[in-house]
Amino acid sequence: MRSDLQKAWMRHRAGQHYDIRLTADDGYQAQRSYSIASEPEHEGEIDLTIERIDDGEVSTYMHDVLIKGDRIEVRGPIDGYFVWEASITEPLLLIAGGSGVVPFMSMIRHRAAAGAMNPICLLYSSRSLEDIIYFNELEKSRGLGRGLKVLHTLTRSQPPNWKGYARRIDEAMLNEVAGPLGRSVQVFICGPTLLLERAASSLVKIGIKSNQIRTERFGPTGG
Clarify whether residues 135 and 53 are in a common domain. Answer: no
Residues 53, 136 share a domain:
no
User: Is-contact 53 222, C-beta < 8 A?
Assistant: yes
Look at residue 8 and tell me whether its pLDDT is greater than 80: no
CA distances to 91, 150, 159 from 41, rounded to whole Å, are 21, 23, 36
**Are residue 126 and residue 184 in the same domain, yes or no?**
yes
The whole-number average pLDDT for the span 170-176 is 97
At 156, the amino acid letter reads R
7, pLDDT greater than 80: no
Helical axes 171-178 vs 193-205, angle rounded to 10°: 60
Local structure of 150: helix, strand or coil: strand
Q: Are residues 18 and 97 in the same domain?
A: no
Q: Within this chain, do residues 69 and 98 fall inside the same structural domain, yes or no?
A: no
Tally of domains in the chain:
2
Strands (E), 36-118: 45-47, 73-78, 92-97
Q: Is the pLDDT of residue 4 over 80?
A: no
Q: Give residue 71's pLDDT.
A: 87
Are 198 and 148 contained in the same domain?
Answer: yes
Given a cut of 60, whether residue 23 has pLDDT beyond it is yes
Co-location of 108 and 208 in the same domain: yes
In this prediction, residue 44 carries a pLDDT of 85
Is 223 among the domain residues?
no
- Please determine, for residue 222, whether its predicted confidence score (pLDDT) is greater than 50: no
pTM of the model: 0.90
Residue 24 has pLDDT above 90, yes or no: no
Give the chain's mean pLDDT: 91
- pLDDT value for 1: 45
Burial class from Cβ neighbours inside 10 Å (0-12, 13-18, 19+) for residue 101 reads buried
Domain coverage including residue 200: 92-217
Residues 53 and 113 in one domain: no
Give which of 122, 54, 111 is closest to 86, Cα–Cα. 111
**Is residue 22 exposed (0-12), middle (13-18) or buried (19+ Cβ within 10 Å)?**
middle
CA distance 199 to 96: 10
CATH number of 7's domain:
2.40.30.10
pLDDT at 18 over 70: yes
Do 96 and 157 share a structural domain?
yes
Q: Looking at residue 35, what is its pLDDT?
A: 95
35-76 pLDDT, tens digit per residue, is 999 999 998 889 999 988 888 889 898 999 999 888 889 999
Closest to 119 in 3D by CA, of 88, 91, 89, 141: 91
Report whether 186 contacts 92 (CB < 8 A): yes
Q: Are residues 109 and 180 part of one domain?
A: yes
Tell me: do 190 and 101 sit in the same domain: yes
Closest listed residue to residue 59, CA positions, set 30, 79, 39: 30
| 145 and 190 housed in the same domain | yes
Kindly indicate the confidence band of residue 203, based on its pLDDT and cuts at 50, 70 and 90: very high
Q: Is the residue at 222 inside a domain?
A: no
Final residue in a domain of this structure, among 56, 78, 100: 78
Q: Which residue among 78, 101, 129 closes a domain? A: 78
pLDDT digits (tens, 9 = 90+) for 115-157: 999 999 999 999 999 999 999 999 998 877 789 999 999 999 9
- Edge-first strand order for the sheet with 29-35 is 29-35, 17-23, 73-78
Pairing label, strands 2-4, 45-47:
antiparallel
Structural domain contains residue 31: yes
